[in-house]
Amino acid sequence: MADTIALEVTRYCPERDAEPSFQTFEAPLRKDWVVLDALNYIKDKVDGSLSFRWSCRMGICGSCGMMVNGEPKLTCATFLSNYAPGPIRVQPLQYFPVVRDLVIEMTDFLNKLKAVKPWIVRREEKPLSAGEYLQTPEQMDAYKQYSMCINCMLCYAACPVYGLEKHFKGPAVLALAQRYNKDSRDQGAGERTDLLSQEDGIWDCTFVGECTKVCPKNVDPAGAIQQYKLTATIEWFQSLLMPWGAK
Phi and psi angles of residue 177, each rounded to the nearest 5 degrees, phi first: -65, -40
**Residues 126 and 174 grouped into a single domain:** yes
SS3 content of the chain, % helix, strand, coil (to 5): 40, 15, 45
CA 133, 137, 139, 143 dihedral sign is positive
Question: Using one digit for the tens of pLDDT, what is the confidence trace for 86-117?
Answer: 899 999 999 999 999 999 999 999 999 999 99
CA 186, 187, 188, 194 dihedral sign is positive
Which residue among 64, 82, 104 closes a domain? 104
Question: Using one digit for the tens of pLDDT, what is the confidence trace for 14-62?
Answer: 999 999 999 999 999 999 999 999 999 999 999 999 999 999 999 999 9
- Whether the pLDDT of residue 2 is over 80: the answer is no
**Residues 231 and 121 grouped into a single domain:** yes
Q: Look up residue 171 and give its amino acid.
A: P
**Greatest pairwise CA separation for the chain in angstroms:** 73
Query: Which residues are paired to 26 by β-bridges?
Result: 6
Which CATH number belongs to the domain containing residue 118 in this structure?
1.10.1060.10
Average pLDDT, integer, range 192-209:
81
Torsion angle of the four alpha carbons 194, 234, 124, 181, in this order, in degrees rounded to the nearest 10? -70
- Look at the chain and report how many structural domains it folds into: 2
Domain ranges, residue 138: 107-245
**Residues 118 and 233 grouped into a single domain:** yes
- Whether the pLDDT of residue 237 is over 60: the answer is no
Query: Which residues are paired to 79 by β-bridges?
Result: 34
Strand 98-100 with 103-104, pairing? antiparallel
Residue % of the chain over a pLDDT of 70: 93
**Can you give the pLDDT at residue 1?**
61
**Residues 202 and 222 grouped into a single domain:** yes
**Residues 62 and 143 grouped into a single domain:** no
Question: Using one digit for the tens of pLDDT, what is the confidence trace for 121-154?
Answer: 999 888 989 999 999 999 999 999 999 999 999 9
d(CA 220, CA 127): 36
Name the CA radius of gyration of the chain, rounded: 21
Polymer length of the chain: 247
E-assigned strand segments in 93-222: 98-100, 103-104
Alpha helices, DSSP H only, in 10-153? 35-41, 107-115, 137-147
Which residue among 104, 134, 154 closes a domain? 104
**Residues 48 and 150 grouped into a single domain:** no
**Residues 94 and 114 grouped into a single domain:** no
Which residue among 104, 129, 157 closes a domain? 104
